[in-house]
Amino acid sequence: MKRINSEALQIARHINLFLNNYIPSQKSCSPHTLRSYKYTLSLYIGFLETEKEINSVNLRSDCFNQIIIEEWLIWLMEKRKCCPGTCNNRLASMRAFLKYLGSREVSLLYLYEEALRIKRKKEVRKPVIGMSKNGVKALLSVPNQKTKTGRRDLVFIILIYSTAARIDEILSLKVKFLFLDVPKPYITIIGKGNKIRTLYLLPKAVVHLKKYMEEFHLQTNDTEAYVFYSRNIGVHGKLSQTAMSKRIKIHAKNAHEFCKEVPLDLHAHQLRHAKASHWLEDGMNIVQISFLLGHKQLQTTMVYLDITIEQEAKALATLESESEKKLSKKWKNNNSNLSDFCGVFEMER
């Protein structure tokens, strides 16, 4: 039985520490970001194992050199049918790992320097798909206000549209981040990279949110409770994105029947897109929009210039009803595969 070489053990150990210690504590608390890093390394290890016949015996640092990474990117496009944007994201994740590896093993820093020389794939920018103001009005009219779930869904849609926040930012909102009884009501959002931003609420959203809090949080003054919580777990269990996304699609299907401007495959991020484009249509400065959206770079916000239709400068409230205050209704042995050895899940084949 062949022995596992010490360099392979070193690499596997660093992969494990990178994914389970470094990324959660240093890079991001987002489970989606962590999943992306894990998936990238799983794909790369799977590529080494299936295409390069690398295992726990012959795994070396040279397996992460520029030439092999470039071959991996071609493999992603040709065999996995990944688009250029996805390949660029995978490359960014690989660079992050190699930067970490080089910081722990100075002799391997050259791998990161090589990875920096790999050119990103040329992307064709996809148009941002939002929704018209009529579509938003139609969507807000369909949640059944005779049911508790319908009333919750309406408040969620109003809040995510009126603030243009990301779905996870709203689902992560806790009671302690609501400031509704002040001259200018607002909520505090914790965005990507734990960046905090303040989002002011218009009267219509405040009225709906207060009504919601009276019904769903009347029995508790727990400031750590989630505003939108899981009924199965309780107020300390965050409602999942999957559950809320399904609800939004149900409402979109119902609204589409009488308003074709509501996409059948509507997702929460389109409500964010819609609000951003409506702000732009109504004359708001793009720098202000970038701040409200929590974008790190202004260039990210510029995509919304493509989806503006009306060029009139009206009020900040993009729906007439928003200004109303009334409420209308691991490596175990060398017999295991390379994925197990490196501590990543096995790539789907």
Global pTM reads: 0.63
Reduce the secondary structure of the chain to three states and give it as a string.
CCCCCHHHHHHHHHHHHHHHHHHHHHHCCCHHHHHHHHHHHHHHHHHHHHHCCCCCCCCCHHHHCHHHHHHHHHHHHHCCCCCHHHHHHHHHHHHHHHHHHHHHCHHHHHHHHHHHCCCCCCCCCCCCCCCCHHHHHHHHCCCCCCCHHHHHHHHHHHHHHHHCCCHHHHHCCEHHHEECCCCCCEEEEECHHHCEEEEECCHHHHHHHHHHHHHHCCCCCCCCCECCEECCCEEEEECCHHHHHHHHHHHHHHHHCCCCCCCCCCCHHHHHHHHHHHHHHCCCCHHHHHHHHCCCCHHHHHHHHHHCCCCCCCCCCCCHHHHCCCCCCCCCCCCCCHHHHHCCCCCCC
Residues 84 and 95: their CA atoms lie apart, in Å, by 16
Quick one: pLDDT at residue 312?
Answer: 37
Residues of the chain falling short of pLDDT 50? 307-316, 330-332
pLDDT, tens digit, 9 for 90 and up, residues 168-184? 889 999 999 999 999 88
Residue type, 321: S
Quick one: pLDDT at residue 272?
Answer: 82
Quick one: pLDDT at residue 129?
Answer: 64
Q: What is the architecture, at CATH level 2, of domain 133-318?
A: Orthogonal Bundle (1.10)
Residues 275 and 180: their CA atoms lie apart, in Å, by 21
Quick one: pLDDT at residue 78?
Answer: 93
